[in-house]
């Protein structure tokens, strides 16, 4: 780390952007260069986020490609549909890019349009977008110009499913992914349905069968295992600020023991710094809050010939900003855990 790199964030005033600021402040190798935010441009960072008072003496500014040029790497933390209009000019200027949004996660522009309800404006860049799930794509990320940081729900679903699907332990059909999310996953915005009174003491499923993370989960499963998977995914909104809890029910290809499953996970993840697999414990969101960990648990449900898998992540850390920094570490050659432990 003989050299400090400069990074900027476009969309720095949302929850993922602000979390990214928090994580980067703990990183010994990079310096935050510019914080771009359209709505909050001109406002001091600590006026919008008073928790940064005394820590950051800077203001949000309006984005321009030339202003971003002083950075070695640029993070985008924008609502879906915005990054695809900005990434081209950044790549042209030779910037390396990590997009925390959904624009470059799905290779198929038809699927993108179906779920994101708009045509993709940078289809030509999709082939060079590298899916930023370090545990499964480490080498590609290192050399990538454009990393598509995984969605929060996909992160929670993919990490427990991938090793089992790849090993052929579970079947590529009939998988149920039931996910629960804290409210910060919906972003920072004024909306009655996100207000305290509407969310508190309630639970609701939403976007059943239409959530934009469905094609992401399916296509990434296929990408890393070769299996086309039939899978249902239902997200639920819960009265908590942070966290995603995933319960997945996956049919077994053959009868297996708990030891067998443990062995699959151990072989896949024993050396992963951010995956904590426990053969006995059931994950809980509180154990991963404000961390980049993914906690994974499993039960063999022999009665129903399936595995029941659980994972817990912090949606803003491993589900967004933490994983983005993990990717940055790979891209810039820092130790993968720098700033994240």
The answer for residues whose C-beta is within 8 angstroms of residue 237's C-beta and 6 or more apart is 181, 183, 186, 199, 203, 204, 206
Span from 30-38, 153-161, 226-234, 253-261 in contact with a copy of itself (CB under 8 A):
226-234
Match 């909306």 to its residue by tokens.
191
Residue 330 touching a copy of itself (CB under 8 A): no
Rg (CA), the chain: 20
Distance CA 174, CA 138 (A): 29
Beta carbons within 8 Å of 292's beta carbon, 6+ residues apart = 274, 314, 317, 318, 322, 323, 325, 326, 340, 341
What's the closest the beta carbon of residue 134 comes to a copy of itself, in angstroms?
16
- Binding residue for a copy of itself, selected from 93, 108, 206, 257, defined by CB under 8 A: 206
Site string for a copy of itself, 230-269 (x = CB under 8 A): xxx-x-x-xxxxxx-x-x-x-x------------------
Interacting residues of 263 by C-beta distance below 8 A, sequence separation 6+: none
Give whichever of 71 and 184 is closer to a copy of itself, judged by the CB atom: 184
202 is an interface residue for a copy of itself by CB under 8 A = yes
CB of 123 or CB of 203, closer to a copy of itself: 203
Q: Tell me the pairing of strands 306-313 and 30-36.
A: unpaired
Interaction between residue 286 and a copy of itself (CB under 8 A): yes
Residue 152 designated active-site: yes
Nearer to a copy of itself, 148 or 171 (CB): 171
Residues 138-157 that bind a copy of itself (CB under 8 A): none
What DSSP state is assigned to residue 201? T
Specify the residue, 263 or 301, whose C-beta has the smaller distance to a copy of itself: 301
Give me the active site residues, please. 152
């Amino acid at each position: 780390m003989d050299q400090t790199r400069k990074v900027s964030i476009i969309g720095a005033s949302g929850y993922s952007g602000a979390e990214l600021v928090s994580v980067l402040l703990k990183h010994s190798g990079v310096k935050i260069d510019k914080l771009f935010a359209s709505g909050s441009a001109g406002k001091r960072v600590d006026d919008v986020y008073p928790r940064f008072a005394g820590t950051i003496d800077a203001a949000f500014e309006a984005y321009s490609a030339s202003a971003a040029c002083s950075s070695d790497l640029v993070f985008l933390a924008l609502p879906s549909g915005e990054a695809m209009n900005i990434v081209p000019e950044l790549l042209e200027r030779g910037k390396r890019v990590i997009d925390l949004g959904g624009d470059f996660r799905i290779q198929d522009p038809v699927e993108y349009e179906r779920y994101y309800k708009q045509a993709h404006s940078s289809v030509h860049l999709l082939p060079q977008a590298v899916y930023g799930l370090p545990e499964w794509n480490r080498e590609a990320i290192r050399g990538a110009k454009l990393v598509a940081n995984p969605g929060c729900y996909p992160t929670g679903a993919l990490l427990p499913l991938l090793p089992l699907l790849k090993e052929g332990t579970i079947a590529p059909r009939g998988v149920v992914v039931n996910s629960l999310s804290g409210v910060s996953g919906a972003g920072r915005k004024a909306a009655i349905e996100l207000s305290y009174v509407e969310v508190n003491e309630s639970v609701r499923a939403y976007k059943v069968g239409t959530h934009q993370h469905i094609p992401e989960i399916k296509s990434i499963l296929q990408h890393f295992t070769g299996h086309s998977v039939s899978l249902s995914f239902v997200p639920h909104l819960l009265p908590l600020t942070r966290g995603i809890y995933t319960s997945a029910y996956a049919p077994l290809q053959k009868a297996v023991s708990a030891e067998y499953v443990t062995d699959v996970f151990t072989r896949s993840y024993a050396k992963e710094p951010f995956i904590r697999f426990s053969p006995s414990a059931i994950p809980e969101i509180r154990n991963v809050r404000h961390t980049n960990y993914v906690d994974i648990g499993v039960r063999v449900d022999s009665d129903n010939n399936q595995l029941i898998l659980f994972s817990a992540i912090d949606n803003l850390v491993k589900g967004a900003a933490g994983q983005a920094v993990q990717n940055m570490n790979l891209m810039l050659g820092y130790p993968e855990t720098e700033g994240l432990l």
